[in-house]
Amino acid sequence: MTIVERAREAARTARPPLVIAAHGTRDPEGAAAARALADRVREALPGIDVGLGFVELTAPGIADAVAAAASSGAGRVVVVPLMLGSGGHVRRDIPEAIEVGRTRVPGSTVAYAPHLGPDPLLRTLTLDRIRAVLGDWSAASTTIVLVGRGCSIAETNAQHVALARLVEEEGGFDRVLPAFIQVTGPDLPAALDQAALLGAKQIVVVPNFLFPGAMRTWTREQTAGWRSHHPNGPEVRVAEVIGPCAELAAVVAERYRAEARRLDDAGSTPVYLSGLVLRGRDVLIVGGGRVAERRVMALLDAGARVRVVSPTLTAVLSALELAGRITWSARAYRAGDVGEAWYVLALSDDPGVNTRVATEAETAHAFCVRGDHAGGGSAWTPATGRSAGLLVGVVGRREPRRTAAVRDALVETVRTLPVPDPLD
């Protein structure tokens, strides 16, 4: 390999650059917060080129940021939207801008991560932000008004209402009322009215926004306005926005890693779909948990002799063991367990154990599925189903839920095709 070829190869296999797609704001404090967050993400992802692009109001735009990253990163880019909800920016504006940037660098691939909102770590942060202003108030005697942006997409507003419910149950508050700054209701004054009517004495208004900007300003102004009209009403405190904290950076870094793995696999792990004849052959499963339970029946249906090595078994696996359909070694995996197995599933919840199992299987030339890290194994489990006497299998791109959904659709389609099963 020449030096140039080697450099090209290194660029191709290097981790792709990240572009953080933020909203943009006229508030200089908000723009500075987005930059501070990007710095924290750089700390969390050493060696990764981290760029920042904005939907509006702040430069550079997302298309420019994506094009720049694609030219420096050998045509592979991960975009993580710095957005809590899945409104119009996440569904439309950012994908359109990505496409504009991507087509400027022919042949490039962009992986686009989901929005941040559902991550449980962000809910923990919300509880922390509330606790920071509670002071001597107890959670049980405090009403929270959780303020979101409001959107023309009902599903996005419903996610905010669901978040309010989760914060209520997880934080043990008297109640959590959702409110919206724009587009939909209840607006913030209406939610404060509602809290007062329900007898609230202490209210914390929580702006559920990432950074300082118009949304935070409006939340503060509307709260102050409401209080001046209700001088004898409940006491009201306003919590801070999320800000460029390490936890938010960790969520962005996690989203990046998931998409980067997907890009790796989609590009470099083509698989061959085979129908293994396992009748009477030894198959080893290491780990007796949920995933092992989901996979064991298909192996037994194929007539495999299934051996499970695991300190624990789920109830279903235990019943199969009692019925003599599988054999069980009730202990941790040990070197040598692969033995004569033709096919191995490394499904423990310990990545170190799964690595050792996969390495032993590799040496023994037995194909091995790794449940925790597809790239570390030598086989993938297809999503399968039976239809019209046929076995239908789908292997995807490490998007198991999508793969399973496609399988469901195929099973249904095959069932209704005009090629009847002659045995029916």
Ligand X SMILES: NC(=O)C1=CN([C@@H]2O[C@H](COP(=O)(O)OP(=O)(O)OC[C@H]3O[C@@H](n4cnc5c(N)ncnc54)[C@H](O)[C@@H]3O)[C@@H](O)[C@H]2O)C=CC1
Residue 14 CB contacts under 8 Å (≥ 6 apart), including other chains: 73, 74
User: What is the distance, to the nearest Å, from the Cα of residue 209 to the centroid of all Cα atoms in its chain?
Assistant: 20
Asked if 99 touches ligand SHN (CB under 6 A), the answer is: no
- DSSP letter (8 states) at residue 256: H
**Tokens (6 digits) for 373:** 């890290």
Measured CA to CA, the distance from residue 44 to residue 255 in angstroms comes to: 12
Task: Say whether residue 412 binds ligand SHN (CB under 6 A).
Answer: no
- With CB under 5 to 8 Å by kind, the binding choice for 309 among ligand SHN, ligand X, none is ligand X
**Rounded (to 5) percent helix, strand, coil in the chain:** 45, 20, 35
**DSSP alpha helices (H): ranges in 269-340?**
290-301, 315-322
Q: Residue 47 has which token pair?
A: 């060696």
Q: Which of 79, 78, 155 is nearest to 118 (CA)?
A: 155
Binding site for ligand X (CB under 6 A): 286-292, 309-312, 332-333, 347-350, 353, 371-372, 400
Cβ of residue 319: shortest distance to ligand X, in angstroms?
A: 15
Which residues 274-293 are close enough to bind ligand SHN by CB under 6 A?
none
Among 12, 257, 281, 294, contact with ligand SHN (rule: CB under 6 A): 294
Least separation in angstroms between CB 13 and ligand SHN: 17
Q: How far is the CB of 369 from ligand SHN (least distance, A)?
A: 4
Nearer to ligand SHN, 70 or 374 (CB): 374
Establish if 9 lies at the interface with ligand SHN (CB under 6 A). no
Comparing CB distances to ligand X, the nearer of 33 and 347 is: 347
- In the complex, minimum distance from the CB of residue 385 to ligand X, in angstroms, rounded to a whole number: 16
- Name the binder of 312 from ligand X, ligand SHN, none, CB < 5-8 A by kind: ligand X
Q: Does 25 bind ligand SHN (CB under 6 A)?
A: no
Question: Considering CB distances under 5 to 8 angstroms, the limit depending on partner class, which of ligand SHN, ligand X, none binds residue 22?
Answer: none
The one of ligand SHN, ligand X, none whose footprint includes residue 16, by CB under 5 to 8 A per kind, is: none
Q: Which two tokens stand for residue 159?
A: 């996610």
x-marked contacts with ligand SHN along 107-136 as a string, rule CB under 6 A: ------------------------------
Which residue number, 122 or 353, has a Cβ lying nearer to ligand X? 353
Q: Which residues pair with 146 in a beta bridge?
A: 178, 206
What contacts 230, CB < 8 A, 6 or more positions away? 192, 196
Q: How far is the CB of 40 from ligand SHN (least distance, A)?
A: 24
Q: How far is the CB of 129 from ligand X (least distance, A)?
A: 31
Alpha-carbon torsion (209, 211, 214, 219), positive or negative: positive
Our finding on whether 255 is near ligand SHN (CB under 6 A) is no
Nearer to ligand SHN, 100 or 395 (CB): 395
d(CA 298, CA 304): 9
Closer residue to ligand SHN (CB): 159 or 202: 159
Cβ contact 248:125 at 8 Å = yes
Q: Could you say whether residue 157 binds ligand SHN (CB under 6 A)?
A: no
Structure tokens, 224: 């102050």
Site string for ligand SHN, 368-407 (x = CB under 6 A): -x-xxxx-----xx-x-----------xxxxxxx-xx---
How far apart CA 243 and CA 61 sit, in angstroms, is: 21
Structure letter (DSSP) for residue 59 = S
By beta-carbon proximity to ligand X, the closer residue of 81 and 385 is 385
Give me the least distance between CB of 319 and ligand SHN, in Å please: 19
Which one, 129 or 398, has the nearer CB to ligand SHN? 398
Amino acid at 163: L
Binding segment for ligand SHN (CB under 6 A), chosen from 32-40, 329-337, 356-364, 367-375, is: 367-375
Residues in the chain: 424
The helix-helix angle for 315-322 and 290-301 (nearest 10°) equals 40
Instruction: For the CB of residue 297, give the shortest distance to ligand SHN in the complex, in Å.
Output: 10
Q: Is 229 in the site for ligand SHN (CB under 6 A)?
A: no
Write the DSSP assignment of 180-249 as a string of letters: ESSSSSSBHHHHHHHHHHTT-SEEEEEE--SSSSHHHHHHHHHHHHHHHH-TTS-EEEEPPP--S-HHHH
Distance CA 45, CA 251 (A): 12
Supply φ then ψ for residue 79, to 5 degrees.
Answer: -110, 125
Residue 344 lies near ligand SHN (rule: CB under 6 A): no
Per partner kind, with CB cut-offs from 5 to 8 A, the member of ligand X, ligand SHN, none near residue 234 is none
- Which residues here bind ligand SHN, judged by CB under 6 A? 294-295, 369, 371-374, 380-381, 383, 395-401, 403-404
